[in-house]
């Protein structure tokens, strides 16, 4: 019996097959050699740790050697409102229209509103009332004195001061040595409804340079 031609492989082919089988066996014995290892994600950066490392050698500054005193902030005041209030005080007390007639009278300062008991006025002139407040108008101009007097009387009414003294001076430092401020004070006091009476102070209380004023009681 004869064999068909071409059925037998050459020796070189047998060696190639043998090498291929060995390579496949080695690959099967070590799996994953041809696959790439999976990528591991990076750990997140710890910012706090990095900051501590960066400032590890920093030395804190010493505390300042001074006291921390809290200072209250001033409250804002409307300038126009303040000006309006001062103008109201000024307008509330007007000057007499005939100063020549006022200055020509050298009379003692005295005034009593109708209805005031005679005993209260007599007590005022004798110094029987306790003086609870005082306003010194030395060095004030006419407008300054008028504003100061109005504000002072308003404060006395709030604080219920019945008897006060107003020092106006004798006018020795004014032009022609006339008691201009003294007569202005008299005229201003007569315009105030809260003024019951006033008279020239006794010598021990200022004499011709001051006036004692009796005010209404704010508690009534």
SS (H, E, C) 125-180: HCCCCCCCEEEECCCCCHHHHHHHHHHHHHHHHHCCCCEEEEECCCCCCCHHHCCH
Answer yes or no: are the C-beta atoms of 187 and 149 closer than 8 Å: no
* Predicted local distance difference test score (pLDDT) of residue 55: 73
* Predicted local distance difference test score (pLDDT) of residue 196: 95
Residue 177 CA to residue 174 CA, distance in Å, equals 5
For the residues 31-54, what does the mean pLDDT come to?
Answer: 66
Residue 145 CA to residue 187 CA, distance in Å, equals 12
At 183, is the pLDDT very low, low, confident or very high (cuts 50, 70, 90)? confident
* Predicted local distance difference test score (pLDDT) of residue 105: 44
CA-wise closest residue to 129 among 155, 167, 168, 164: 164
Q: Write the DSSP assignment of 45-82 as a string of letters.
A: P-HHHHHHHHTTT--PPPPPSS-----PPPPP--HHHH
* Predicted local distance difference test score (pLDDT) of residue 175: 61
Read off the tokens for 60: 């804190």
Which pLDDT tens digit goes with each residue over 131-151? 999 999 988 888 899 999 999
* Predicted local distance difference test score (pLDDT) of residue 85: 55
* Predicted local distance difference test score (pLDDT) of residue 5: 54
CA-wise closest residue to 132 among 167, 96, 159: 159
Q: Spell out the domains of the chain, with CATH numbers in brackets.
A: 81-215 (3.30.1370.110)
Residue 92 CA to residue 128 CA, distance in Å, equals 30
Question: Is residue 96 over pLDDT 60?
Answer: no
* Predicted local distance difference test score (pLDDT) of residue 21: 75
Residue 215 CA to residue 157 CA, distance in Å, equals 8
Least reliable range by pLDDT among 3-17, 125-139, 168-182? 3-17
Residue 171 CA to residue 182 CA, distance in Å, equals 7
Answer yes or no: are the C-beta atoms of 194 and 216 closer than 8 Å: yes
Least reliable range by pLDDT among 49-53, 84-88, 185-189? 84-88
CA-wise closest residue to 164 among 191, 135, 188: 135
Contacts of residue 140, Cβ cutoff 8 Å, sequence gap at least 6: 148, 181
pTM (global) more than 0.75: no
């Amino acid at each position: 019996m004869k064999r068909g031609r071409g059925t037998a492989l050459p020796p070189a082919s047998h060696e190639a097959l043998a090498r291929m089988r060995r390579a496949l066996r080695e690959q099967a014995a070590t799996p994953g050699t041809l696959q790439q290892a999976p990528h591991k994600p990076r750990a997140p950066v710890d910012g706090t740790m990095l900051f501590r490392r960066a400032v590890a050698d920093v030395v804190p500054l010493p505390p300042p050697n001074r006291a921390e005193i809290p200072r209250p902030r001033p409250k804002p005041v409307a300038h126009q409102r303040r000006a309006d209030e001062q103008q109201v005080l000024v307008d509330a007390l007007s000057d007499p229209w005939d100063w020549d007639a006022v200055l020509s009278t050298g009379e003692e300062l005295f005034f009593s509103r109708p209805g005031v008991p005679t005993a209260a006025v007599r007590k005022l002139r004798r110094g029987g009332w306790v003086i609870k407040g005082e306003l010194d108008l030395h060095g004030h101009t006419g407008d300054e004195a008028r504003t100061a007097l109005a504000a002072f009387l308003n404060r006395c009414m709030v604080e219920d001061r019945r008897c006060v003294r107003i020092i106006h001076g004798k006018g020795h430092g004014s032009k022609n040595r006339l008691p201009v401020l003294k007569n202005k004070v008299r005229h201003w006091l007569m315009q105030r409804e809260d003024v019951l009476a006033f008279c020239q102070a006794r010598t021990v209380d200022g004499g011709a340079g001051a006036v004692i004023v009796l005010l209404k009681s704010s508690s009534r």
